[in-house]
Amino acid sequence: MRPDVAGGFAVKVRIEPVNDRMCIVTRDRGQPDGLIRFVAGPDGAIVPDLRQALPGRGCWVTAERAMVDQAVKRKLFGRALKVDVTTDPDLGQVVDRLLCDSLFGMINMARKSGQFITGSGKVEDAVRSGSAIALMHATDAADDGVRKLRQANTARAMGVKAAEIPVFRLFSAEELALAMGEGAFIHAAALAGQAGEGVVKRAKMLARYRNGPEAGPD
């Protein structure tokens, strides 16, 4: 809000954020990093634009699987884009796969930059030293290994009087092996740095997409 003058009287004019976007499902406005952009391709097919860089008119959906599924069910894309479109009935799963691919790509980049490490011992050392900014476990990781790293996370937080670093359990060991081959892991940590932060950002987005805004990391 800012003061303005109209007819000699002071009034208040609402200043809207210039970078906010409106979800076509909820009609709520939000920042682009909390929404997914969609465009119509040359053939009229709806295409997710995770990088928010494709040309043409776009529309936005809250970055949650339930919201994308609703947009498909209610045929909102054509209405929002004002063109005839075709929408894959499994668009929600397509977006999930793209988010996974984006995360795996960033993990590989972070690994090459020395900002993503695997192996229980190395991960524990990184947590206790404060260099780790997030933990990842396979969903079927053994309870003992998960518990040991949780204790390290708690001890670090108490030592520096800060919150525990986020923990993600997004893929099974089999899914990781299929997606990453020899780069698969059971326990891993993202380390401080641009690439490591990119891993955390994408992991948070995938967790929210699958589980809703209240779920987030473990």
* Domain ranges for the chain: 14-88, 94-211
pTM of the model: 0.86
Q: State the angle between helix axes of 65-73 and 91-112 in degrees (0 to 180), rounded to the nearest 10.
A: 150
Cβ–Cβ under 8 Å, residues 98 and 187: no
Cβ–Cβ under 8 Å, residues 38 and 46: yes
* The pLDDT value given to residue 4: 45
The sheet with strand 58-62 has its strands ordered as 46-49, 35-40, 58-62
Q: What is the pLDDT of residues 108-164, one digit of tens each?
A: 999 999 999 999 999 999 999 999 999 999 999 999 999 999 999 999 999 888 899
Residue 190's closest CA among 138, 121, 135? Answer: 135
Q: Give the model's confidence band at 215: pLDDT under 50 very low, under 70 low, under 90 confident, else very high.
A: low
> Residue 3 forms beta bridges with which residues?
12
Q: What are phi and psi of 165, to 5 degrees?
A: -70, 150
Which overall architecture, per CATH, does domain 94-211 show?
2-Layer Sandwich (3.30)
CA–CA separation, 156 and 167 (whole Å): 14
DSSP 163: P
CA–CA separation, 133 and 127 (whole Å): 8
Q: Give the model's confidence band at 218: pLDDT under 50 very low, under 70 low, under 90 confident, else very high.
A: low
Please give the radius of gyration of the chain, using alpha carbons only, rounded to the nearest integer.
21
Look up the CATH number of domain 14-88: 3.30.1230.10
